[in-house]
């Protein structure tokens, strides 16, 4: 049971988990600039796709997207919600 704010820089959303039920709610704009708290997970939209599909872990994504960050309190939750999977994504040429 808990909530996590996923910030895509232009807009954000809350992922609420309560007794196995997942509910998504818009959070609008959440400031993730330097010095701002941002969301629990601040990530560009194209990196989020790779995270959601299990193509990369969050730590692997930070090599290509150094601006992606996760709050220390949410790091374990992000790892559990978005595990590395055996996936194959066809990328356009």
The CATH number of residue 75's host domain is 3.30.1050
**Residue 32: per-residue pLDDT:** 76
Check: CB of residue 62 under 8 Å from CB of residue 31. Answer: no
**Residue 35: per-residue pLDDT:** 66
Q: Is residue 89 part of a domain?
A: no
Q: How confident is the model at residue 52 (pLDDT cuts 50, 70, 90)?
A: very high
Q: How confident is the model at residue 34 (pLDDT cuts 50, 70, 90)?
A: low
User: In the predicted model, is pLDDT for residue 93 greater than 80?
Assistant: no
Q: Note down the domain range covering 60.
A: 2-81
Q: Is residue 51 part of a domain?
A: yes
**Residue 61: per-residue pLDDT:** 96
Q: Is residue 29 part of a domain?
A: yes
Q: Is residue 88 part of a domain?
A: no
- What is the SS3 assignment for 41? strand
Count of structural domains, the chain: 1
Give the integer Cα–Cα distance in Å for 80 and 92: 29
In this structure, of 4-13, 71-80, 83-92, the range with the lowest mean pLDDT score is 83-92
């Amino acid at each position: 049971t808990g909530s996590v704010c996923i910030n895509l820089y232009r807009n954000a959303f809350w992922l609420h988990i309560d007794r196995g039920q997942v509910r998504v709610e818009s959070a609008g704009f959440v400031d993730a600039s330097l010095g701002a708290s941002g969301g629990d997970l601040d990530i560009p939209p194209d990196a989020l796709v790779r995270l959601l599909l299990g193509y990369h872990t969050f730590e692997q994504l930070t090599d290509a997207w150094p601006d992606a960050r996760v709050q220390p309190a949410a790091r374990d939750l992000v790892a559990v919600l978005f595990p590395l999977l055996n996936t194959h994504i066809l990328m356009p040429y």
